[in-house]
Amino acid sequence: MINTRMKTMPETGLEHAEILAQMKQYGGEDVNYQDSRTWSLVYHLDEKHTDFLKQAYGLYFSENALNPMAFKSLKRFETDVINMTASMFHGGKKAVGTLTSGGTESCLLPVLTYRDLAKSKRKLPFRPEMIVPQSAHVAWSKAAKYFGVKIRYAPLKSDFSVDVEAVRKLINRRTILLMGSAPSYPHGVIDPIGELSNVAQQHNIPLHVDACLGGFLLPFIEKNGGTVPPFDFRLAGVTSISADVHKYGFAAKGASTVIYRSMKYMQHQFFIDEDWPGGVFASPALLGTRPGGSFAAAWAAIHALGVKGYCENARQIMKVTDQLQSGIKAIEGLKILGKPDMSVFAFNCSEENLNIFAIGDQMDALGWHIDRVQRPEGLHIMVTPGHAKIVSQYLSDLKTSVETVRSKPELGAKGNAAMYGMIAKMPFRGIIKKEVLKMMKALYSPTGDMPMDGGNNPLSVRVMSKFMQRFGRSKNN
């Protein structure tokens, strides 16, 4: 039997069957995505497609795209995927790009690229700035930290799209990049990319469209006759787009794309070191070693589904989305946030005495893996074709959960509802950061365990609770 927490490797290798059996046992504690009880993290089409992806991945399991001259097959896969994706975005003959490890890398790279593009044009030292919506994915905040770029957040309008006039007012001589989402993660709303494109052109500033979520869905909604606001290279001000193949492209994890209008921009993404003792080194993206399996599976997924397959998936996804949104609106006390443009959305309560996080707790107890958002508070959904089979059950459980919380409002002060409520309302955000840092340090310690208090709650929850009590008393006094 394998120890639950191994501090040293075994002296003698164990039997493969024993290892695999133990690994499956560990997986029993994971969220149940196969039965579509989750609303994020995994974009599962069906078992047949998954088995096919495993075969495609396995064919190139050991190959490494670090050296495209050694593995020409991987370079072909990458070129094909980039060309097909660029064509989908009306990129023309000059569009170029790279495969990446995921959406985060596809958001990091444009910040690096446009920072260095600006440096190549401006000789005097300056601290570069980028302007993004308040709803931008957190990867953009990470990019700002990693690459020394100041991030300036533009406020949202009442429909949760970015306020373009606010963006315009934030532009100054240090601005190197504008960004809009297609759609945003929290609310599923496409920013007014057409208006941002005009602003970008007027000020000669690059504009990146973060379509990591919508890139492999929106074009097919449009092909099906749906209304999709313009967001791609048909807009002259758009200089780059990111889109995840492992989301609505239904490829294996570890496959995203970043596409540039031309090499004029992408050349600043490359890293080259001509003096390394190991030889001249060149890398197109953040990673050195790039796993061949994810390249192969991305190529295979696009070829297996094709335009007709993606259109059918889009039709099914939007049908389920409409059913869910209609069902949620029909439940007394709930409302959808904004007017989502695709299959990603959030909802909260329209009644003051209802606590949306308490409703989330009740749904968790019924076997659902529920995601929460804050500012404003809500529960979050990302729809895949597999959710078609659970719509009725989800809506039934949701209605039951709402009724339970309505009859027991004290549930809002218990469990995760209390924690998420504190986090959303805590005025001193630095306190949250310090407490989450404690949790991260514990999770990535040798034991890998979350620190818990006597009530089986994360230790940071107890600390934040005490802080809120003190803050409340001092405020009342």
* Mean pLDDT per 10-residue section of the chain, whose length is 477 residues: 66 93 87 81 90 97 89 94 97 95 97 95 85 97 96 97 98 97 97 98 98 98 96 98 97 96 95 89 91 96 98 98 98 96 96 92 93 92 95 98 93 65 59 70 63 52 48 39
Residue the block writes with tokens 């609505």: 248
What are the structure tokens assigned to 182, written together? 């297609």
Burial class (CB in 10 A: 0-12, 13-18, 19+), 210: buried
Q: How many alpha carbons lie under 13 Å from residue 24 in its C-beta half-sphere?
A: 6
Answer whether 53's CB lies under 8 Å from 301's CB: yes
Amino acid sitting at position 249: G
Query: Cα torsion for 386, 388, 392, 396, to the nearest 10°?
Result: 40
Which neighbouring-strand residues pair with 152? 131
What are the structure tokens assigned to 351, written together? 């009644």
Helix ranges restricted to H, 60-156:
72-88, 103-121, 138-147
Answer whether 100's CB lies under 8 Å from 285's CB: yes
The CATH H-level (homologous superfamily) assignment of domain 307-415 is Aspartate Aminotransferase, domain 1 (3.90.1150.10)
Answer whether 326's CB lies under 8 Å from 320's CB: no
Answer whether 379's CB lies under 8 Å from 360's CB: yes
Domain boundaries, the chain: 58-302, 307-415, 433-476
Q: Which of 285, 251, 275 is nearest to 110 (CA)?
A: 285
What DSSP character marks residue 15?
Answer: P
Answer whether 420's CB lies under 8 Å from 357's CB: yes
Crossing angle (nearest 10°) for helices 429-443 and 459-476: 170
Rg from Cα positions in the chain: 24
Q: How many alpha carbons lie under 13 Å from residue 51 in its C-beta half-sphere?
A: 3
Answer whether 132's CB lies under 8 Å from 111's CB: no
Distance, first Cα to last Cα, the chain:
59
Which neighbouring-strand residues pair with 131? 152, 178
Helix ranges restricted to H, 204-291:
218-223, 263-266
Answer whether 303's CB lies under 8 Å from 49's CB: no
Does the structural domain 58-302 have CATH classification 3.20.20.330? no
Answer whether 75's CB lies under 8 Å from 68's CB: yes
Q: Which uninterrupted H or E stretch holds 334?
A: strand 334-336
* Cα gap 405→156, rounded to integer Å: 30
Pairing of strands 238-244, 256-260: antiparallel
* Cα gap 267→161, rounded to integer Å: 31
Q: Which of 342, 370, 340 is nearest to 356 (CA)?
A: 370
* Cα gap 176→390, rounded to integer Å: 45
Residue 466: what pLDDT? Answer: 47
